Amino acid sequence: MSLFMETEAPQHPPWYLEPFEGESISHYFGRYRRQEIISASTPSSLGKAAGIGTALSRWEKFHFNPRPTLKELQAMSKLIGVEVSKLEALCPPKGVLMVTRSTRLCAVCYYEAPYHRSHWQFQSTAECEKHQLPLISRCPACDEKFSLPSEWEQGSCKRCGMKFTSMKKRQIKAKENRQEQTRKAQELGSSPDWKSV
Ligand SMILES: [Zn+2]
Ligand SMILES: [Zn+2]
């Protein structure tokens, strides 16, 4: 009789990595690949190992057209040991369009828990609802665009090293700018023209 038969909890392989609540697929797979036990260092090599071609590379750039198929999710699930339902939760809900040209951040959320949230990339998300602050997509110090969340190993700007957790001021400023624009627009009797931050 095997000792392993006495365990009732689902059997996870040693490389199993639990996704965080609301984590984006890009951030999750970045973390996944940085585990010491993992030999695949790129989305393409991991996708190849799962037998799903370049699909993972697309997802990590928030390209979900076409959407992940059940077959692809099952193949990935089999390889990394994460349930299909959890992989589905990393993807945007059906019909939700994603921002693909920039990576967005709420620094206050990141301070609370350092990972990229999937809903920050929803086109319908203009600000963090929790903190009522606009999301930012560039470093306040050097203006470099944020890299894909899969590369957020240090939690800082890849050019100048400014920590994501210390970027709250830029969001507050962006909020003030928006309020100012709204006020001006109201004075002129036209609708506000919000610049993206
Ligand atoms: Zn927030
Ligand atoms: Zn920077």
Any idea which ligand is nearest the CA of 139?
2
Residue 176 clears pLDDT 70, i.e. is over it:
yes
Q: How far is the CA of 33 from the centre of ligand 1 (A)?
A: 26
Mean pLDDT of 68-85: 97
Q: What backbone phi and psi angles, to 5 degrees, belong to 2?
A: -90, 140
Residue 164 near residue 105 (C-beta atoms within 8 A): yes
Q: How far is the CA of 78 from the centre of ligand 1 (A)?
A: 34
Helices vs strands, H then E, count in the chain: 7, 2
pLDDT digit string (tens) for 6-41? 556 668 999 999 999 999 999 999 999 999 888 878
Mean pLDDT of 185-196: 71
* Domains defined for the chain, CATH in brackets: 11-90 (1.10.260), 107-188 (no CATH)
Q: How far is the CA of 171 from the centre of ligand 1 (A)?
A: 10
Per-residue confidence (pLDDT) for residue 1, from 0 to 100 = 47
Any idea which ligand is nearest the CA of 142?
2
All residues with CB under 5 Å from ion ligand 1: 106, 108-109, 128, 130-131
Q: Which amino acid is at 30?
A: G
